[in-house]
Amino acid sequence: MPYARIRDIQMYYELGGSRSPARRLLYVSGSGGDLRQGPSPLDSPLARDFELLAFDQRGLGRSDRPDRPYSMADYAADALALLDHVGWQKCHVMGVSFGGMVAQELAVTAPERVERLVLACTSSGGAGGASYPLHELPTEPGPDTAALQLRLMDTRGEEAGPDLLTLMKEMSERRQSLPGDPGREAGFRRQLEARAGHDTFDRLDRLTMPVLIAAGRYDGIAPLSNQQAMHQAIAGSRLEIFEGGHVFMLQDPRALEVMRAFLVADR
């Protein structure tokens, strides 16, 4: 099992894909990400083009769960320390949802380590707008909660079609199939609390590397307006809008190919 001592935790990570040293990609997952859950980013089409590094963030999956609050700076420092561990001085970075927040914090902290940056279905916080406060979601299951979760995933709700309902069911089943690890819920809660304090907006002008902002037109968690604000704040950034909601990468077949083409473009 690939574990590494990263700052104050034992971190689980996976390294795979193409072994071409010229193309390296750090993938940062969203809220509740667990590499046991699948599908693994190492099984995605991106793995054909990149040596791909993915990991379980602190508090989640097979990484340690320190019993204390976590900050966005913690998550970014963990990712940078993992790059040091595997010997990557520079790489491309792709962050999805919460992972996009971590990727922002990493990139504004150490822009010299990031060659190209993809920020997908995410927000900057602050004046650029925050993502939906998931820590305030009702914990009791029921039709009202299910309807709210559906609208957050895609503001069209049931009008988005049966494919979205199938996707959400599959995602729920994969989460439920995970082992009942002690402390997992506390780690997830700490992640949501760190997310609530996320704010990089006033530092986005530090990003001078090529940046792709990928948004779902009907995203109720990271609204399109938030990503338009990031686009305005990051000089030279590119904004691509896809037909879907928060899981547009699974809804719009163009999405991964556009991201791949951006990442493999000439430096």
Give the residue numbers spanning the domain of 250.
Answer: 3-264
The pLDDT score that the predictor gives to residue 175 is 78
Q: Which of 241, 205, 238 is nearest to 223 (CA)?
A: 241
Average pLDDT (217-242) is 98
Cβ count within 10 A of residue 176? 8
DSSP string, 34-66: -TTTS--GGGSGGGGTSEEEEEPPTTSTTS---
Taking only the tens place, the pLDDT of each residue in 184-220 is 889 999 999 999 999 999 999 999 999 999 999 999 9
Share of the chain above pLDDT 90, in %: 74
Q: Which bin fits 263, alpha (ψ -120 to 50), beta or left (φ > 0)?
A: alpha
Cα–Cα distance measured from residue 253 to residue 250, given in angstroms and rounded to the nearest whole number: 7
Residue 1 pLDDT more than 70? no
Say which residue, 55 or 40, is predicted with more confidence.
Answer: 55
- pLDDT level of residue 267 (50, 70, 90 thresholds): low
Cα–Cα distance measured from residue 90 to residue 144, given in angstroms and rounded to the nearest whole number: 46
| Domains in the chain, number | 1
Cα dihedral 78, 194, 182, 31 sign: negative
Q: Which residues pair with 10 in a beta bridge?
A: 5
Find the DSSP H helices in 57-142. 72-86, 98-109
Pairing mode, strands 3-6 and 9-17: antiparallel
The pLDDT score that the predictor gives to residue 179 is 77
Asked whether the beta carbons of 191 and 31 are under 8 A apart, the reply is yes
- Please report, for the domain that includes residue 221, its CATH number: 3.40.50.1820
